[in-house]
Amino acid sequence: GEPWTKVGHLDEAAVGRSVLIRARAHTIRPVGRKMAFVVLRQGMSTVQCVLVVSADAGISAQMVRFAASLPKESVVAVEGVVSLPKEDLKSATQEVEIQVRKLYCIDRADPNLPITVEDAARSESEFVRAEQTGEKLVRVGQDTRLNHRVIDLRTPANQAIFRVQYELENKFREYLSSNDFIGIHTPKLISGSSEGGAAVFKLEYNGQPACLAQSPQLHKQLAICGGFRGVFEVGPVFRAENSNTHRHLCEFVGLDAEMEIMENYFEVCDIVDGLFVELFKHLNDKCKKELQTINRQFPFEPLKYLDKTLRLSYEEGITMLKEAGTEIEHMGDLNTEAEKKLGRLVREKYDTDFFILYQYPLAVRPFYTMPCYENPLYSNSFDVFLRGEEIISGAQRIHDPELLAKRAVECGIEKSSIESYVRSFSYGTPPHGGFGVGLERVVMLFCALNNIRKTSLFPRDPQRLVP
Ligand code: 4AD
């Protein structure tokens, strides 16, 4: 069978077996001249390897010295026997250790590492403890981590975060596929802004002005015009906004969906509801180990959500905020603070961290949003909140080309820039709606992380284009 054993698969059942492992040297600790401990790390798992000078095992003092001098992060191959650690030597996360017979250095790391994984993986509680014992620990700042992201990504928590992200993305595809949506890909090079506003990266496209798509909005609607009844896309979204916050990126991954609606836009809310309740269950179930690993470095409370997602109208939300004494502009959008506050109020009253806020004022929504038939000061739109922050916005769209053109002009959008889009609705278009989710935001908030840069592999923010 497979000659290489995975570190994560080592358990007491393997005691006594001879194994081959290839992994990175996490920490190296010589004990005198006759012994050395090398902790190997692979993905989210570590295991302690023990080298003891012994003629029987063929371990020379020279070999112990070689192991003790390995630079951290070197890739090594080890052959050894799985054993139970002596009680007083228990230290690694694995329940067993390896008595080394052979050790090879496959790729030697630079001994002057800019950061170590051991330092990058420390939790806040370790710093608190060190404070008490007077031990000096290195704190690796967010920017330093991102400058040396390839090392930073090796921490168990980071390995776990991107597995959670991947599960989320997969489940999104799977849920929508099984609800008769099909996956599509829309162009990222487009002729103008899709969300309105100035937050676009401009470029030249064979002598023509163009930009990077701010969302798949216009083309996912064109797919509906093109006869597809339900579509979804997982793809990059570009925003040239100069927002230096914990939750804005200049490039993020959009999870988008668009669908025909038969009666009203709450059918779109139903999809969001079904999708997210299943997603949360799936992550808690399938990613237990990952969530525990993240929790070890960044402790968080599990998410509270209801089997049927709470829906509040914008007016109900505003009333809750006003009754709690929050100053808020009526018919305005919610700022970050108001969102957080509403999140706390909803949690107290309804015991959930996840809810839908619907029927926003038309004035705070993009031009393509369908006004409320009964009261056109409002719109058939919604936002979705996770731990008091927006993760989704969605709406019914205008499918009448005349109304669409009128709304575009009212929103200050140049008519010529969206002529082809507007015309597409002239050839028979069903009522439709959809939503857009920010992948990094969902992972950040599900795990209650404090910065969206933690959930982007190589984040792009207003200051950062490298690595
Ligand atoms: O609210 P947004 O801008 O909505 C749209 O793009 C619509 N076309 C969606 C629709 O189908 N109606 O973006 C949708 C989501 C937000 O809720 C947020 O989660 C995320 O995308 N998002 C960002 N994530 C990271 N960085 C940014 N700068 C983001 N801007 C939006």
Residues 44-88 have pLDDT tens digits of 999 999 999 999 989 999 999 999 999 999 999 999 999 998 865
Residue 249 alpha carbon, nearest atom of ligand 1: 26
What is the whole-number distance in angstroms between the Cα of residue 5 and the centre of ligand 1? 42
Q: How far is CA 298 from CA 149, 294, 360, in A?
A: 18, 6, 35
Residue nearest to atom 23 of ligand 1 (CA): 438
- Please, which residues have CB within 8 angstroms of residue 463's CB and are 6 or more apart in sequence? 244
User: Which of 168, 201, 215, 248 should be mutated for ligand 1, with most atoms under 8 A from CB?
Assistant: 215
| pTM attached to this predicted model | 0.96
What is the whole-number distance in angstroms between the Cα of residue 121 and the centre of ligand 1? 30
Cis peptide preceding 187, ω within 30 of 0: no
pLDDT at 330: 85
- Please, which residues have CB within 8 angstroms of residue 255's CB and are 6 or more apart in sequence? 169, 172, 232, 233, 234, 436, 437, 438, 439
What is the whole-number distance in angstroms between the Cα of residue 255 and the centre of ligand 1? 9
User: Which of 393, 435, 443 should be mutated for ligand 1, with most atoms under 8 A from CB?
Assistant: 393
Provide the residue type at 216 as one letter.
Answer: P
What is the whole-number distance in angstroms between the Cα of residue 457 and the centre of ligand 1? 18
Residue nearest to atom 30 of ligand 1 (CA): 248
According to DSSP, the residues that pair with 233 across neighbouring strands are 256
According to DSSP, the residues that pair with 105 across neighbouring strands are 76
Residue 215 alpha carbon, nearest atom of ligand 1: 6
pLDDT at 1: 59
pLDDT at 439: 98
Q: How far is CA 396 from CA 52, 112, 213, 334, 378, in A?
A: 69, 56, 20, 20, 12
What is the whole-number distance in angstroms between the Cα of residue 436 and the centre of ligand 1? 6
374, two tokens = 């009964």
According to DSSP, the residues that pair with 99 across neighbouring strands are 50, 81
Neighbour-count burial of 94, counting CB atoms closer than 10 A to its CB (0-12 exposed, 13-18 middle, 19+ buried): buried
The Cα angle at residue 296 between residues 78 and 50, in degrees rounded to 5: 25
CA of residue 342 relative to chain centroid, distance:
23
Active-site residues, by number, are: 239, 241, 247-248, 390, 393, 441
Residue 243 alpha carbon, nearest atom of ligand 1: 28
Contact between residue 164 and residue 303 where contact means Cβ atoms under 8 Å apart: no
Output the furthest CA–CA distance in the chain (Å, rounded).
88
Per-residue pLDDT of the chain (467 residues; tens, 9 = 90+): 579 999 999 999 999 999 999 999 999 999 999 999 999 999 999 999 999 999 998 999 999 999 999 999 999 999 999 999 886 555 556 689 999 999 999 999 999 999 999 999 999 999 999 999 999 999 999 999 999 999 999 999 999 999 999 999 999 999 999 999 999 999 999 998 888 777 999 999 999 999 999 999 999 999 999 999 999 999 999 999 899 999 999 999 999 999 999 999 999 999 999 999 999 999 999 999 999 999 999 999 999 999 999 999 999 999 999 999 999 988 999 999 999 999 999 999 999 999 999 999 999 999 999 999 999 999 999 999 999 999 999 999 999 999 999 999 999 988 888 999 999 999 999 999 999 999 999 999 999 999 999 999 999 999 999 99
What is the whole-number distance in angstroms between the Cα of residue 239 and the centre of ligand 1? 9
Residue nearest to atom 24 of ligand 1 (CA): 438
Q: What are phi and psi of 407, to 5 degrees?
A: -65, -35
- Alpha helices (H) in 110-259, listed in sequence order: 117-120, 124-133, 142-147, 149-152, 156-178, 217-225
- CA-to-CA distance for 375 and 371, rounded, in angstroms? 8
Per-residue exposure over 268-284, b if at least 16 CB sit within 10 Å of its own CB, e if not = bbebbbebbbebbebbe
Residue nearest to atom 21 of ligand 1 (CA): 438
What is the whole-number distance in angstroms between the Cα of residue 433 and the centre of ligand 1? 15
According to DSSP, the residues that pair with 78 across neighbouring strands are 21, 103
- What is the SS3 assignment for 421? helix
pLDDT at 196: 76
Residue nearest to atom 7 of ligand 1 (CA): 436
Helix (H) or strand (E) holding 282: helix 266-286
pLDDT at 90: 54
Among 423, 411, 317, 303, residue whose Cα is nearest residue 366: 411
Which protein residues touch ligand 1 with a CB less than 6 Å away?
195, 215, 217, 239, 241, 248-249, 252, 256, 390-395, 434-438, 440-441, 452
Helix (H) or strand (E) holding 68: helix 61-68
Helix (H) or strand (E) holding 346: helix 336-350
- CA-to-CA distance for 222 and 185, rounded, in angstroms? 12
Contact between residue 238 and residue 438 where contact means Cβ atoms under 8 Å apart: no
Residue 256 alpha carbon, nearest atom of ligand 1: 11
386, two tokens = 């996770």
Q: How far is CA 258 from CA 148, 232, 367, in A?
A: 38, 6, 17
Residue 369 alpha carbon, nearest atom of ligand 1: 12
